[in-house]
């Protein structure tokens, strides 16, 4: 009650004519209801309508994922839809808020000036964050890598477990989880994009006939290539170019295998097992104890 009395004393005219003050308030209220309130309703309804229209567009973009358009991946489409939705809703409600405040009689000049100064201060203090978001957007939009890919970036290598506009999370072979800020990513090495390549180097004694060894390796390669358990994992015929190196009473033969992404490990293990069985069966002499096969995995390398 005391607060109401104090408020009335503050707004009461000097001559104490309270009914005149109330009439002024009533006139102002009626003026607002006749002129400004309809405009405010139009602004609110317009913002809601634009938001719904934006969501319809987002659903159309998301529908591209089901059509599997060439050159577009699901992660790209989902990211693009998410970015458009977030930015679009922010712009719509920001503009609507400015219009509403103007209709309510607020002076936007000082408010916009304060927002500009605050935005400038935040911009200087969050340059790294802005760079993270911009770099992350282009990483996702350009489809440089996706969840599940094996990549090397910012000095670490691992499988991508999660990614956003700000950071990428990798899990390496030891199980260590690495969180990399997108602003630190300069070069991306994707080792599981489209196909992977396994390079097997098989060492035998120098005295072994090269044509015989190449024939045995080709035979093993054809067996694995047409094995139903591995046929879907291998994308092309296994190549045995020949001798890669000679020296120290040994000869090193090269075998190249192209596989689907992340399928090279099982294929390479099966090839080594069958090569060993074939060499044991055909009594192929090795170069020396403990030096039979060496694997040099180089996914993405071109066959020579």
Q: Do 27 and 110 share a domain, yes or no?
A: yes
| pLDDT tens profile 60-76 | 766 665 555 544 566 56
Within a domain: 16: no
Within a domain: 48: yes
CATH of the domain at 53: 1.10.287.1260
Task: Note whether 149 and 159 are within 8 A (CB).
Answer: yes
Would the pTM count as exceeding 0.75?
no
The DSSP result for 239-292, as a single string, is: EEEEEEEEETTEEEEEEEEEESTT-HHHHHHHHHHHHHHHHHHTTPPPSBTTBS
Q: Do 81 and 29 share a domain, yes or no?
A: yes
**What's the pLDDT at 146?**
81
* Type and span of the H or E element at 159: strand 156-163
Q: Do 114 and 153 share a domain, yes or no?
A: no
With a cut of 50, which residues of the chain have pLDDT below it?
Answer: 1-7, 9-10, 70-71, 290, 292-295, 300-304
| pLDDT tens profile 44-64 | 888 889 888 888 887 776 666
**What's the pLDDT at 33?**
66
Q: Do 234 and 250 share a domain, yes or no?
A: yes
Helix (H, G, I), strand (E, B) or coil at 19: helix
**What's the pLDDT at 180?**
93
Domain total in the chain: 3
Within a domain: 30: yes
**What's the pLDDT at 156?**
92
**Pairing assessment for the beta strands 156-163 and 196-205 based on DSSP bridges:** unpaired
What is the rounded CA–CA span in Å between residue 296 and residue 272?
13
Within a domain: 13: no
**What's the pLDDT at 270?**
92
What is the rounded CA–CA span in Å between residue 192 and residue 233?
13
Within a domain: 133: no
CATH of the domain at 162: 2.30.30.60
Task: Note whether 122 and 153 are within 8 A (CB).
Answer: no
Domain range holding 221?
196-297
Question: What residues does 246 pair with on adjacent strands?
Answer: 251
Q: Do 205 and 186 share a domain, yes or no?
A: no
Q: Do 182 and 208 share a domain, yes or no?
A: no
**What's the pLDDT at 162?**
83
Tokens for 269, please give them.
């293990």
Q: Do 86 and 166 share a domain, yes or no?
A: no
> What does the DSSP 8-state code read for residue 147?
T
For 11, 21, 221, the CA distances from 17, given in Å and listed in that order, are: 11, 7, 104
**What's the pLDDT at 39?**
79
Q: Do 119 and 31 share a domain, yes or no?
A: yes
Within a domain: 108: yes
Within a domain: 4: no
Task: Note whether 283 and 182 are within 8 A (CB).
Answer: no
Q: Do 108 and 180 share a domain, yes or no?
A: no
Q: Do 27 and 121 share a domain, yes or no?
A: yes
What is the rounded CA–CA span in Å between residue 217 and residue 17?
108
**Pairing assessment for the beta strands 150-153 and 189-190 based on DSSP bridges:** antiparallel
Q: Do 220 and 292 share a domain, yes or no?
A: yes
The number of residues making up the chain comes to: 304
Within a domain: 137: no
Tokens for 278, please give them.
């074939």
């Amino acid at each position: 009650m005391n607060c109401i009395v104090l408020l009335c004393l503050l707004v009461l005219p000097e001559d104490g004519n309270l009914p005149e003050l109330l009439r002024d308030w009533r006139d102002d209220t009626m003026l607002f209801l006749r002129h400004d309130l309809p405009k405010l309703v139009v602004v609110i309804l317009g913002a809601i309508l634009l938001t719904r229209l934006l969501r319809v567009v987002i659903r159309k973009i998301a529908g591209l994922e089901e059509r599997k358009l060439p050159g577009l991946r699901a992660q790209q489409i989902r990211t693009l839809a998410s970015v458009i939705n977030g930015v679009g809703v922010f712009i719509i409600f920001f503009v609507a808020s400015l219009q509403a405040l103007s209709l309510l009689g607020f002076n936007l000049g000082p408010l916009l000036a304060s927002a500009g100064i605050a935005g400038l201060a935040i911009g200087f203090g969050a340059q790294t964050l802005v760079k993270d978001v911009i770099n992350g957007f282009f990483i996702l939009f350009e489809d440089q890598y996706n969840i599940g890919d094996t990549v090397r970036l910012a000095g670490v290598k691992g499988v991508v477990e999660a990614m956003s506009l700000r950071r990428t999370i990798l899990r390496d072979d030891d199980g260590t989880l690495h969180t990399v800020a997108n602003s630190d990513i300069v070069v991306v090495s994707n080792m599981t994009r489209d196909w992977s390549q396994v390079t097997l180097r098989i060492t035998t004694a120098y005295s072994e006939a090269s044509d015989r060894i190449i024939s045995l390796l080709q035979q093993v390669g054809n067996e694995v290539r047409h094995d139903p358990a591995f046929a879907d994992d291998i994308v092309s015929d296994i190549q045995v170019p020949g001798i890669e190196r000679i020296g120290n009473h040994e000869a090193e033969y090269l075998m190249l295998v192209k596989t689907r992404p992340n399928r090279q490990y099982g294929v390479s293990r099966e090839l080594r097992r069958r090569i060993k069985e074939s060499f044991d069966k055909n009594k192929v002499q090795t170069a020396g104890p403990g030096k039979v096969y060496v694997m040099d995995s180089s996914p993405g390398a071109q066959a020579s």
